[in-house]
Structure 1
Amino acid sequence: MRKKNFFASAVLGTGIASAVLVSEYLFKFAFKRVDYVPEAAADKQKYAESYWKYVEWFKGVTKEKWTFSIGNEEENMSAYFVPSKVGSSNVVIISHGYKGNGETMANYAKMFYDKGYNILLPDDRGHGESAGKYISFGWLDRLDYLKWIAKVIERVGMKSKIVLFGVSMGAATVEMLSGENLPPQVKCLIADCGYSSIHEELTYLLKQQFHLPKYPFYPLVSTINHRRLGYYLDDISSTEQLKKNNLPIFFIHGEKDDYVPSYMALENYRATNSAKELWIVKGASHAESYWINPSEYKKHIDDYLDKYFK
């Protein structure tokens, strides 16, 4: 009997140790910063030529480098500010996606630049030229964006009018930011394919990409995140923040999104009590809604801004 109990305990201990090791790997895979932009998914390769034209535009356009310090003088958050070509007080702050940076949002920046907007393109924590060992999936970023908003108002003036725009993780960042105490200069928000919570997103990806169950891995990854970043993953919720939002918001989501499934857009939409609109883009995969038909995308943005921004 004693040998049997010892064997059972050894097997259990080995299982727990394996689960912890796998969870540590998953945390590093998902949360550790990257200093490069991963190659686009196979279904986005057909847009590469157009994408790089926008990047070349961004590299050549007149812009200012902005920073603010976090922690100490050697840790800075970074952004690029592109002044309006017509001296407008309209501003868009564009939030990039997971493992991207401000430059990867060049097509959206050009869209707003052509409308006469000033543009701010931050690099989020753990991305691009900004500090941070880990990616916070919008939760800490939302607080950084409050500082970016203050810097925009200081630069453009008290009469500035601000749109918050984001795609993928950037959309979730905008959604989480919506629940904070925003200044009156922020007029409306646009969120393209954002997740409803990191809990739903990670458990979905655990199953889809790694064929792993929620338990014990999600709670273990959440505990690791708490030790490294100071909060549990259940704190990261777009829907809970959207319940506090009082600004107009436009949700956009690809019908065939298999990375952030479109039902999350419906959850975000239902959680919102303010003025809201929803566009499910037929045939579009994750973050493809602009690329699949740029003219239609721009028209939807124009119609929304005509209604809620002007």
Structure 2
Amino acid sequence: MEKSSRLYEDRIKNAGKTPVEKASWSSVASLAGFTACLVAAGAFCISSGQVAVGIGLIVFGIVPCLAIIAMANNVVTQFMDGTRGAFFPQASAESFGPEAEKAFAIANKALSKPELAVAEANRKTESAATKAWFDDVRTSFDEVSITSEDGLRLVGHLLESNPRSANWLIYAHGFGGGWKNGLGIARHFAERGYNLLFIDMRAQGDSGGTVIGGGHLERRDLVQWCRWLAERSDEGSGIVLMGSSLGGAAALEAAGEKDLPQQVKAVVSDSAFADFWNEAIHAMGTLGANGKALPAHPLLDVVRLILRSRKGGYDIAEPSAVAAIAHAQAPVLIIHGADDQLVAPYNAVRLDEAATAAGIDHELLQVPSAGHCCAAMADPELYYGTIFGFIDRH
């Protein structure tokens, strides 16, 4: 549905705009200091003969700290481990069926009834066409694999739908998704003469690993996939690297890597977060645990500390698409739903501003009446028209 008023344009530009926070260890230091002071005070009371008061102070100091550590461990397990995901925007592993319908409803809960009716009608049309296409080509997909730089087996699904074409699409899905999550996109690209490589991100689907990397670990995986495809393709081949949500952030980080092969002609990012740390803060305050919002600090800071010490872990303050886009080695198209409640549209504005400041060849498309990763269903003509127009110009 068309929304053209200045008020609406200002609203979507600043939707979800919050102060951008830089990570620090101050909350962890405060928690440790609080605990140490109460334990020390308790010990002094006990040594002075006030045993009951001393024990009470020690318990009051230790129990909250232990509770926060336990909660943080639970968060690390649930939203960083690829076997379970409860804290971040969850993609459907499929493009159609009950799971996809549920994900669509959650992603578009902010839409009005008329807006939702339009998006739902488009979704049904797209899903029916995609299912019919996939039924025809399902058995033609080949499973391929590479080994990541840290030794994981990464799995992809390849379809040479147009063997005479030198054009390829590499697609990366989001949290909780899988390669089939992007089948609607696959169909449109196949119909435009592209061959397809749809991957299972690390710690998801059939790929190895137990830690989802916030787009930062995945950036190197995507560079490897691009290099693998470039090496097995003709010298004049052209690769489009595209991702949604987590996959979009990973694609942007990959775009900033110096060894991204020159065959990558364009990078398309849909519904990506600008940086993982601030998205984690947003997710903790909105999605929380089992739908219950949680204060970000000091919980998220303890999560950061635990994950840094975990085998295969990393610093969750490091993943930053907004930093990487300033070094993009290929033109970038940034797409975001204007009514995205899961990854606020202001993330796209931050990415756009960073690319503009760095002089990067890029475009920004904000799609009205579209929730998280649902721009293609809110307005398929605008969505795919913009993507292919952008690619054709580059």
Work out the CA distance in 2 between the residues paired with 1:269 and 1:196: 10
Does the alignment pair 1:285 with 2:361? no
Work out the CA distance in 2 between the residues paired with 1:96 and 1:234: 21
Instruction: Assess, with a 3 A threshold, how the Cα gap between structure 1 residues 70 and 147 changes in structure 2: closer, same or farther.
Output: closer
Q: Provide the alpha-carbon RMSD of the alignment.
A: 2.2
Work out the CA distance in 1 between the residues paired with 2:106 and 2:304: 31
Does the alignment pair 1:219 with 2:219? no
Counterpart selection for 1:67 from 137, 140, 145? 145
**Deviation sequence 1:40-66 (CA, Å, 0-9, x none):** 322569436743652563354222211
Which segments of 5 or more consecutive residues in structure 1 lack a partner in the other structure? none
Counterpart selection for 2:315 from 223, 232, 240? 232
Work out the CA distance in 2 between the residues paired with 1:115 and 1:26: 42
Q: Which has the higher contact order (CA 8 A, sep 6+)?
A: 2
Instruction: Assess, with a 3 A threshold, how the Cα gap between structure 1 residues 52 and 80 changes in structure 2: closer, same or farther.
Output: farther
Work out the CA distance in 2 between the residues paired with 1:206 and 1:233: 14
Aligned-pair CA distance for 1:67? 0.6
Identity of aligned residues (%): 25
SS in 2 for 1:190: strand
Does the alignment pair 1:248 with 2:248? no
* Segment drifting more, 285-294 vs 27-36: 27-36
Counterpart selection for 2:216 from 116, 120, 139? 139
Aligned match of 1:83? 160
* Segment drifting more, 245-254 vs 40-49: 40-49
Contact 2:149 2:220 in 1 (8 A): no
Work out the CA distance in 2 between the residues paired with 1:72 and 1:146: 14
Aligned match of 1:32? 81
SS in 1 for 2:168: strand
Work out the CA distance in 2 between the residues paired with 1:262 and 1:72: 33
Work out the CA distance in 2 between the residues paired with 1:5 and 1:158: 74
Work out the CA distance in 1 between the residues paired with 2:190 and 2:344: 30
Aligned-pair CA distance for 1:150? 1.7
Instruction: Assess, with a 3 A threshold, how the Cα gap between structure 1 residues 55 and 21 changes in structure 2: closer, same or farther.
Output: farther
**Deviation sequence 1:224-244 (CA, Å, 0-9, x none):** 221222421111111111122
**Deviation sequence 1:22-54 (CA, Å, 0-9, x none):** 111111221111389393322569436743652
Which segments of 5 or more consecutive residues in structure 2 lack a partner in the other structure? 1-44, 85-91, 109-119
Instruction: Please give the TM-score of this superposition, normalised by the length of structure 2.
Output: 0.73
Q: How does 1:157-168 map to 2 (within 5 A)?
A: 157-168=234-245
SS in 2 for 1:302: helix
SS in 2 for 1:235: coil
Instruction: Assess, with a 3 A threshold, how the Cα gap between structure 1 residues 113 and 188 changes in structure 2: closer, same or farther.
Output: same
Contact 1:97 1:168 in 2 (8 A): yes
* Structure ranking higher in strand proportion: 1
Contact 2:237 2:263 in 1 (8 A): yes
Aligned-pair CA distance for 1:294? 1.3
Counterpart selection for 1:120 from 190, 197, 219? 197
Contact 1:58 1:103 in 2 (8 A): no
* Segment drifting more, 154-163 vs 16-25: 154-163
Work out the CA distance in 2 between the residues paired with 1:303 and 1:49: 23
Instruction: Please give the TM-score of this superposition, normalised by the length of structure 1.
Output: 0.92
Contact 1:96 1:170 in 2 (8 A): yes
Aligned match of 1:54? 130
SS in 2 for 1:253: strand
**Deviation sequence 1:116-169 (CA, Å, 0-9, x none):** 011110100111111111211221111111221122112222211111111111
Q: How many residues align?
A: 307
Counterpart selection for 1:106 from 162, 175, 183? 183
Aligned match of 2:24? none
